[in-house]
């Protein structure tokens, strides 16, 4: 059986999740479900980056012990996934003992390769990014691009460094050859042009003092902790047994897809493959890089007070409505905008008037005239079995299946849904033209076609709107009628 190992990025748990996390979770879940439907053995991993300095600072500010603080926040990430019908096969916590052991193993392998050395260092540190920046990487106010308005810390201490510069040419070469594929290609080009400038070695530890004795201890040196990105990236490995359970690790590694936000591409496309090359380990196959969610055209931020909490949204509209909006409205690889007005507009147009209305109409008519599919409606291949009488519909369904699969292979969620909605529009027109509410010989064929089309729609929607897909299937096989998406006013 083919294995498929996919991960979400590993969020910091210095605050509860916002709607941007929901976007990434949903995108990852769709790809995972798609591969499961193809019959592959899938493992979906998420986790929490618990060793970051900003977790410690946030806990201090809240006046709560660090472990308790991060446990509570990590739990709300898992809860968000559950509410969205996403099942993490593994949720790996960065503060777990296993993860510490595994990360120390990665350190030791890099050390054996001669890539770790100690030196004194002075630099500008952004706690938001947990990264050092050189002055030319900052904005015109000399602030971090990701965290404008926040002062950078001047840090001066003795740290361990990783010989990143040694891997510069190798990285350019393997990214150029798509050995680590970056989607979309604009992001790949960004990374490659960054790599064409001289690459600096990076600090991969900090003093206990600055780490406040939190995080993974450096093997063989009690005075230092491992730098948060070195260990956070290793969550992708520790969660499947690296340094802990070789058999499990060999089964799943390398990752087939890491899903990440655009702000952390450098860590994933440069640091991570360099650590792995140093340790002599295989590289992940694909990085899918999504954009950010803005709210009413503005970047979401605590200081603007416009952070959208996904929980009440799911509570009010249901998981599938939220999944649909995020997948359909937000371009998968660019930034997209959220407002509740846009949400309701999409909901009413596509879900209530589109999908929900079609399902209700077809089921009402076929119940009234006692039309059933001649074959079991749960059969996957009504289309290829030639059950469709109308050749245009037959052709459209075949094309849609191909388009959807192609779009999913390219992480184009919106295009896939657009293709499925073309079928819905076709069916609406087909009903208007053929008027199957008047009894005739042709009427049975028309309703039969529409039932097959609904079956195909339900199948295609399974990775995107799992609950709705199931509800349609149940009704098609004679189960109780339910309203799918009542119109919102």
Instruction: Give the residues lining the site for Zn ion (CB under 5 A).
Output: 126, 128-129, 144, 146-147
Q: From the CB of 299, what's the least distance to Zn ion, in Å?
A: 13
Q: From the CB of 71, what's the least distance to Zn ion, in Å?
A: 25
Dihedral angle, C-alpha 315, 317, 321, 325, nearest 10 °:
-100
The answer to whether 425 is a known catalytic residue is no
Query: Among the options 97, 140, 177, 302, which is catalytic?
Result: 302
Q: From the CB of 129, what's the least distance to Zn ion, in Å?
A: 3
Nearer to Zn ion, 183 or 264 (CB): 264
Query: Among the options 110, 144, 427, 452, which is catalytic?
Result: 144
Nearer to Zn ion, 67 or 139 (CB): 139
Residue holding tokens 């120390």?
A: 104
List helix spans (H) across 224-318. Answer: 228-233, 235-238, 246-252, 265-266, 272-279, 310-317
Q: Which sign, positive or negative, has the C-alpha torsion 247, 248, 253, 256?
A: positive
Cα distance between residue 132 and residue 229, in whole Å: 11
The answer to whether 302 is a known catalytic residue is yes
Q: From the CB of 128, what's the least distance to Zn ion, in Å?
A: 4
The most distant pair of C-alpha atoms in the chain lies apart, rounded to whole Å, by: 87
The answer to whether 110 is a known catalytic residue is no
The answer to whether 299 is a known catalytic residue is yes
List helix spans (H) across 180-234. Answer: 185-195, 208-211, 228-233
The answer to whether 126 is a known catalytic residue is yes
Q: From the CB of 130, what's the least distance to Zn ion, in Å?
A: 8
Task: Name beta bridge partners: 240.
Answer: none
The answer to whether 97 is a known catalytic residue is no
Nearer to Zn ion, 127 or 274 (CB): 127
Query: Among the options 126, 188, 290, 434, which is catalytic?
Result: 126
303 with 149: CB under 8 angstroms? yes
Cα distance between residue 460 and residue 404, in whole Å: 8
403 with 415: CB under 8 angstroms? yes
- Look at residues 267, 394, 433, 412 and name the one whose alpha carbon lies nearest to residue 331: 412
Q: From the CB of 242, what's the least distance to Zn ion, in Å?
A: 28
Q: From the CB of 126, what's the least distance to Zn ion, in Å?
A: 3
Cα distance between residue 409 and residue 250, in whole Å: 24
Nearer to Zn ion, 16 or 128 (CB): 128
Which are the contacts of 482, defined by CB distance < 8 A and separation ≥ 6?
Answer: 471, 475
Cα distance between residue 403 and residue 452, in whole Å: 18
Nearer to Zn ion, 138 or 344 (CB): 138
Nearer to Zn ion, 36 or 147 (CB): 147
CA distances from 446 to 336, 380, 442, 470 (A): 39, 20, 6, 23
DSSP-assigned letter for residue 167 = G
Nearer to Zn ion, 14 or 400 (CB): 14
Query: Among the options 3, 119, 299, 425, which is catalytic?
Result: 299
The answer to whether 452 is a known catalytic residue is no
Query: Among the options 105, 147, 163, 444, which is catalytic?
Result: 147
Query: Among the options 110, 129, 427, 452, which is catalytic?
Result: 129
Residues with active-site annotation = 18, 21, 126, 129, 144, 147, 299, 302
């Amino acid at each position: 059986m083919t294995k498929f190992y996919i991960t979400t990025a590993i969020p910091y748990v210095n605050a509860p999740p916002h709607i941007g996390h929901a976007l990434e979770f949903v995108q990852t879940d769709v790809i995972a479900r798609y591969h499961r439907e193809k019959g592959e053995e899938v493992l979906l991993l998420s986790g929490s980056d618990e060793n970051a300095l900003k977790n410690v600072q946030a806990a201090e500010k809240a006046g709560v012990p660090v472990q308790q603080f991060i446990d509570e926040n990590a739990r709300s990430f898992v809860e968000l996934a559950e509410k969205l019908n996403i099942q993490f096969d593994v949720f790996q916590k960065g503060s777990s003992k296993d993860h510490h052991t595994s990360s120390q193993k990665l350190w030791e392998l890099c050390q054996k390769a001669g890539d770790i050395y100690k030196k004194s260092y002075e630099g500008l540190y952004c706690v938001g990014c947990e990264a050092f920046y050189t002055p030319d990487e900052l904005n015109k106010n000399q602030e971090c691009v990701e965290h404008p308005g926040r002062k950078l810390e001047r840090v001066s201490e003795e740290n361990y460094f990783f010989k990143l510069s040694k891997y510069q040419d190798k990285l350019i070469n393997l990214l150029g050859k798509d050995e680590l594929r970056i989607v979309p290609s604009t992001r790949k080009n960004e990374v490659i042009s960054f790599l064409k400038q001289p690459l600096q070695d990076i600090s991969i530890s900090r003093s206990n003092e600055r780490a406040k004795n939190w995080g993974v201890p450096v093997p063989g040196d009690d005075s230092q902790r491992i730098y948060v990105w070195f260990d956070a990236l290793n969550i992708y490995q520790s969660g499947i047994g690296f340094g802990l359970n070789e058999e499990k690790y060999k089964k799943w590694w390398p990752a087939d897809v890491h899903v990440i936000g655009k702000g952390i591409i450098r860590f994933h496309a440069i640091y991570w493959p360099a650590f792995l090359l140093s340790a002599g380990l295989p590289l992940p196959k694909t990085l899918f890089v999504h954009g950010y969610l803005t709210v009413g055209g503005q970047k979401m931020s605590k200081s603007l007070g416009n952070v959208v909490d996904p929980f009440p949204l799911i509570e009010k509209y249901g998981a599938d409505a939220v999944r649909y909006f995020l997948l359909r409205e937000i371009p998968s690889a660019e930034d997209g905008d959220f407002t509740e007005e846009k949400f309701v507009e999409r909901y009413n147009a596509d879900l209530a008037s589109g999908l929900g209305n079609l399902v209700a109409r077809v089921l009402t008519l076929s119940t009234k005239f006692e039309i059933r599919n001649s074959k079991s409606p749960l059969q996957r291949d009504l289309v290829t079995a030639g059950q469709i009488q109308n050749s245009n519909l037959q052709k459209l369904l075949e094309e849609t299946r191909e388009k959807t699969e192609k779009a999913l292979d390219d992480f184009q969620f919106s295009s896939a849904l657009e293709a499925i909605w073309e079928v819905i529009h076709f069916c609406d027109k087909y009903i208007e033209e053929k008027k199957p509410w008047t009894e005739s010989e042709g009427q049975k064929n028309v309703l039969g076609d529409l039932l097959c089309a609904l079956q195909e729609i339900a199948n295609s929607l399974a990775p995107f709107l799992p609950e709705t897909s199931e509800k349609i299937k149940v009704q098609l096989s004679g189960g109780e009628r339910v309203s799918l998406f009542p119109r919102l006013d």
